[in-house]
Amino acid sequence: MKRIAIICAAGIGDALITSIAAHHLRKKGMDAVVFSPHLQGFGRWLEEGEYLPYAEDWAEALRDFEAVLLQHDNTPRAKSILGLRAKGLPVYVFYTNYRLSKHGPLLQGFDFPFDEGLPMVENTKAGVKALFGIEAGGRSVLSPPEGLVHRKFGQRVLIHPMSTSEDKNWVRERFLGLAKKLKRRGLEPLFILSPSERDAFPEGLPAPRFPTLADLANAVYESGAFIGNDSGPAHLASYFSIPLAVICQGRQMPLWSPGWHAPRLILPPRWVPNIKGMRLRENKWKYFITTKRVLNLFLPMLKQNSKTLYY
């Protein structure tokens, strides 16, 4: 059995998407071991297989593998792993934003540059076919544990107001205002906040604690809808076919858009200019998206039914 290491970029969404490859390689009999800072936290959601944290010494950690599949995110980690090619290790690469000037010529049969006009999920499926000859569907390595009911709490709306980067976040106070408006309509807004993020929000906010990613996955799977920034939990909602809206600047979409159950992207109005020297659309985009506009676009989604589940 061929033993292959799947090395994901650091984000939760990155791990979920890149692990599409792990699932389909396993179906073909390969021993796919996934390296990610996050996946172990999903516990009983994970299909059978090995899930490891990032290594301190990648040359040593990968010594017993016959091949590597790397999601290249332009970090020193990715560059050092790719450098193991020179020592004879076959390294397959998914380039999310390939540039000849930055990455050099592609190695035929081993490198797959993503189409930045398509979501990461579609690119990953295409990459699995191009590099390994496998027709891949959308399923990743998560499946709901027994006892959970999909969208059990239909009136519950999960709100995720944070992300890995402040410039990707909509205005905090508007998220709070949105929650109040949803509650007036008989819905149950619940915030997703990490322990380090709670101090930036009012005390008493409905924000249950999720000690593990498995707990978060449980909540997302059983919720009626999701709204937030471009972030890992949004990708979970998409994978679980939960109606979701993503408030975003739009510059890196559709590549980074959740790619299973399509989200409603809420963007700044088209008339917002990006004048040279001011770059209003790029730097001030969040202030041009009103709470009223978000509410008007979000509420119709609550009537959607889940369509495609990948497990």
Backbone angles phi, psi at 210, to 5 degrees: -120, 90
Q: pLDDT exceeding 90 applies to what percent of the chain?
A: 77
Q: What is the rounded CA–CA span in Å between residue 147 and residue 246? A: 29
Confidence check: pLDDT of 296 > 80? yes
Average pLDDT, the chain: 92
> Which option is the CATH number for 153-303: 3.40.50.1110, 3.40.1010.20, 1.10.1740.10, 3.40.50.2000?
3.40.50.2000
pLDDT in tens, 266-289: 988 877 766 665 666 677 888 889
Position 164 scores a pLDDT of: 82
Please say whether the beta carbons of 80 and 87 come within 8 A: no
Please say whether the beta carbons of 73 and 11 come within 8 A: no
Domain 3-132 and domain 153-303, same fold? Reply is yes
Asked if the bond preceding 208 is cis, omega within 30° of 0, the reply is: no
Q: Which amino acid is at 103?
A: H
Q: What's the whole-number mean pLDDT along residues 71-84?
A: 97
Contacts of the segment 35-39: beta carbons below 8 A, 24+ positions apart: 35/5, 35/6, 35/7, 35/8, 35/61, 36/8, 37/10, 38/11, 38/12, 38/213, 38/232, 39/8, 39/15, 39/141
CA separation, residue 80 to residues 29, 39, 117 (Å): 28, 22, 28
Position 306 scores a pLDDT of: 61
Measured at the CA of 161, the angle between CA 158 and CA 162, to 5 degrees, comes to 125
Domain ranges of the chain: 3-132, 153-303
Is CATH 3.30.70.141 the classification given to domain 3-132? no
Q: What's the whole-number mean pLDDT along residues 297-302?
A: 89
Around Cβ 179, how many Cβ atoms within 10 Å?
22
Around Cβ 1, how many Cβ atoms within 10 Å?
8
Helix axes 172-184, 291-298, angle to 10 degrees: 50
pLDDT in tens, 146-171: 999 999 999 999 999 998 888 889 99
Position 58 scores a pLDDT of: 98
Quote helix, strand, coil % in the chain, to nearest 5.
Answer: 35, 15, 45
Position 254 scores a pLDDT of: 72
Q: What is the rounded CA–CA span in Å between residue 259 and residue 253? A: 11
